Amino acid sequence: MPGITREEVAHLARLARLELKPEELEHFAGQLDDIIGAVARVSEVADQDVPPTSHPLPLTNVMRADEVRPSLTPEQALSGAPAQEQQRFKVPQILGED
Amino acid sequence: MTTTTDLVSYEDALASYDPVMGLEVHVELGTKTKMFCGCSTELGAEPNSQTCPTCLGMPGALPVVNAIGIESAIKIGLALNCEIAEWCRFARKNYFYPDMPKNFQTSQYDEPIAFDGYLDVQLEDGETFRVQIERAHMEEDTGKSLHVGGATGRIHGASHSLLDYNRAGIPLIEIVTKPIEGAGARAPEVARAYVRELRELIKALGVSEARMEQGQMRCDVNLSLRPHGREKFGTRSETKNVNSLRSVERAARFEIQRHAAVLNGGGTIIQETRHFHEDTGSTTSGRVKEEAEDYRYFPEPDLVPIAPSRAWVEEIRSGLPELPLARRNRLLAEWGISAADMQSILNAGALDLILASIDAGADAASARKWWMGELARSANESGVPLDGLAITPEQVARVTELVSKGDLNDKLARQVIEGVLAGEGTPDEVVEKRGLKVVSDEGALTTAVEEAIAGNPGIADKIRGGKVAAAGALVGAVMKATRGQADAARVKELILEKLGVSEG
């Protein structure tokens, strides 16, 4: 079963906005291939009667009442922001749209 | 706009091509708190004052879904005649854009909570068109960006952007239609009627105020053309965030004309998002659409599946209010009006106001008459929506009550309404201040009638001779003498009585 190709890793890196050098691409492609191979072995064991699982707990319908809880103050919310202006998070120019 | 877009006439476009549409409507739910945390959703709060570790996407913060959010989604699904999933999950939609601090939006992917429904919508001429619903799924809204350094808050030319995350995490329901085929030249009208019907439905369910001008409801218009007779769809464009009914119609119309021009010129339509411009009614290119796989959807591991029990679903179903189309059809029959009359009432935004006046005691005919007559005119002249007038449905009901008791006639009632709209107070206060009372003092009326007869002997003779219709002139004279404050019907009775004639 094919794992992950170098091109696919490059594509993912681009989507994740990660700048990877050619040798890094090579390196991660190898590692990710191993990981995917390991995970693929699970599907060999899981037969049709085992439903796909996205959560380890056998729970459904965990909900909360629609009641307001205290929020952070704007100061707290912004305390970790690298830059701020007008009580807002300041981010670099957004490219690629409009 | 520095570039102009080639268009062909709407008629020519339709002569060669068949439009296919897909409409995606986002509705912000009116819950008190966000979808996955307890932060308030109140509008108008100062920036970043309604956030917490969960909606800011801090490591380790865990979301818990809002029960009313789920219930509202089920209500919408049922009202749209959808199946409700027995089991479904949330999914992460991964993308890098600073409007979501988590770098993903919690949404639903291949397991929407509601699917396979339909909504019947009525067109201007009363014809019904059935729009098939593909799905309705739950997700969350994004933060608000402010672009600094460019022209008027646009991204283009901006040096940086400022983010307010108060809106990030507010519950959204996205409702997606199946391809709408067969509407032909009426496609833009169908789009508008669909969004309007959906808005009425959402309001009737009480899950959102669905105010489009406030962005609580917005529509993405997907449109493609195919030559007549071809089965396969053409390439579509997606015009994003169209936020008024009129704009939905205009955007669809513009795209039909634009696509036709491109195709006629031998070009191909690029699959892309487009922006609609309210001022010109045109669209311009946005970004080229990313492939679905690029969002790398996967099941949200921090939320457990939703499995609405059939008992719960049925309980919600039985609690649904009468839906707008059914209500309109019932009222149509009860009031004995035509589909066209009902359409004008809807277009005027008068239905809820008329019903509220009826609830406050007005009879249906009078409530319709005032809202669709005097008040609609007044709203039109001052350029405000009907519900923006300075008069309440209760006050209109009070005016109709004064008329039916005989304290006011229609002419005086108009003056009372004018006074209320001018801010002179309640109907009773205006009556008091302006001294507007029907003269019901029989003595004073009798004197006025006698004077009118004496002053118009020729007319009086005609009436005596059996020309009852001539009485109108004498009624007019009495109304003039009493400055309009007499009850015209009573005046006529008195005149005929005096002259010894009976009507009919």
Which tokens hold the place of A6? 């170098």
> Measured between beta carbons, which residues in chain B are less than 8 angstroms from residue A63?
64-67, 70
> Which residues, including other chains, have CB under 8 Å from residue B411's CB and lie 6 or more apart?
B484
Contact assessment for residue B303 and residue B69, using Cβ atoms and an 8 Å cutoff: no
Residue range of the domain that includes A40: 1-47
Q: DSSP secondary structure string, B303-330?
A: SPPB---HHHHHHHHHTPPPPHHHHHHH
pLDDT of residue B192: 96
Q: Which amino acid does the sequence have at B493?
A: E
The B residues from 77 to 106 touching A (CB cutoff 8 Å) are 87, 89, 94, 96-98, 101
pLDDT of residue A42: 82
From first to last of the 98 residues of chain A, give the pLDDT tens digit: 457 889 999 988 888 888 999 999 999 999 999 999 988 888 788 778 887 777 778 899 999 999 999 999 999 999 999 999 999 999 987 654 43
The reply to whether residue A87 touches residue B47, judged by beta carbons under 8 angstroms, is: yes
The reply to whether residue A90 touches residue B37, judged by beta carbons under 8 angstroms, is: no
The reply to whether residue A66 touches residue B307, judged by beta carbons under 8 angstroms, is: no
Give A23 to chain B, closest Cα distance, Å: 24
pLDDT of residue B418: 92
pLDDT of residue A15: 81
Q: Is A73 on the interface with B (CB under 8 A)?
A: yes
Q: How many CB atoms lie within 10 A of CB B136?
A: 26
State phi, psi for B276 to the nearest 5 degrees: -95, 135
Q: Is B346 on the interface with A (CB under 8 A)?
A: no
> Which residues, including other chains, have CB under 8 Å from residue B370's CB and lie 6 or more apart?
B357, B396, B399, B400, B413, B417
> Measured between beta carbons, which residues in chain B are less than 8 angstroms from residue A72?
51-53, 56
Pick from B40, B160, B306: which is nearest to A92 by CB?
B160
Size of interface A-B (CB pairs under 8 A): 141
Q: Which amino acid does the sequence have at B378?
A: S
Which tokens hold the place of B352? 């809820």
pLDDT of residue B339: 84
Residues of chain B under the 50 pLDDT cut: 1-2, 291-292
**CA gap B481, B213 in Å, rounded:** 50
pLDDT of residue B1: 42
| Domain at B442-498, CATH class | mainly alpha
Q: Is B275 on the interface with A (CB under 8 A)?
A: yes
**CA gap B317, B295 in Å, rounded:** 34
Specify the pairing of strand B282-288 against strand B272-277.
antiparallel
- Give the residues across from B222 on adjacent strands: B22, B238
> Measured between beta carbons, which residues in chain B are less than 8 angstroms from residue A70?
38
Pick from B48, B155, B159: which is nearest to A78 by CB?
B48
Contact assessment for residue B94 and residue B299, using Cβ atoms and an 8 Å cutoff: no
pLDDT of residue B191: 98
Give B159 to chain A, closest Cα distance, Å: 5
pLDDT of residue B293: 57
> How crowded is the C-beta side of B69, counted as CA atoms within 13 Å?
34
Domain limits of chain B? 10-313, 348-434, 442-498
Contact assessment for residue B9 and residue B184, using Cβ atoms and an 8 Å cutoff: no
* Helices and strands: H and E segment counts in chain B: 17, 15
Pick from B52, B67, B147: which is nearest to A72 by CB?
B52
Q: Which amino acid does the sequence have at B117?
A: G
Whether A35 maps to a domain, the answer reads yes
Specify the pairing of strand B272-277 against strand B237-242.
parallel
Under the phi-then-psi rule, with left for phi > 0, alpha for psi from -120 to 50, and beta for the rest, what region is B26?
A: beta
> Measured between beta carbons, which residues in chain B are less than 8 angstroms from residue A65?
67
**CA gap B238, B219 in Å, rounded:** 10
**CA gap B72, B279 in Å, rounded:** 35
Q: Is A81 on the interface with B (CB under 8 A)?
A: no
The reply to whether residue B162 touches residue A78, judged by beta carbons under 8 angstroms, is: no
pLDDT of residue B125: 81
Contact assessment for residue B236 and residue B224, using Cβ atoms and an 8 Å cutoff: yes
Pick from B163, B298, B304: which is nearest to A57 by CB?
B304
pLDDT of residue B193: 95
pLDDT of residue A58: 84
**CA gap B344, B365 in Å, rounded:** 15
Which tokens hold the place of B221? 């218009």
State phi, psi for B28 to the nearest 5 degrees: -80, 125
Overall number of domains in chain A = 1
> How crowded is the C-beta side of B207, counted as CA atoms within 13 Å?
30
Q: Is B67 on the interface with A (CB under 8 A)?
A: yes
pLDDT of residue A98: 39
Pick from B89, B161, B275: which is nearest to A54 by CB?
B89
| The residue to which tokens 């799905």 are assigned | B135
**Extended strands (E) in B73-123:** 83-84, 91-94, 104-107, 114-122
Reference B503, options B460, B472, B476, B469; nearest CA is B469
CATH number where A18 lies: 1.10.20.60
> Measured between beta carbons, which residues in chain B are less than 8 angstroms from residue A17?
96
> Which residues, including other chains, have CB under 8 Å from residue A86's CB and lie 6 or more apart?
B47, B146, B162
Q: Which amino acid does the sequence have at B333?
A: A
State phi, psi for B20 to the nearest 5 degrees: -125, 130
The B residues from 96 to 155 touching A (CB cutoff 8 Å) are 96-98, 101, 145-148, 154-155
Give A72 to chain B, closest Cα distance, Å: 5
Q: How many CB atoms lie within 10 A of CB B221?
A: 31
Q: Which strands form B160-164's sheet, in the order they lie side by side?
A: A84-85, A88-92, B160-164, B144-148
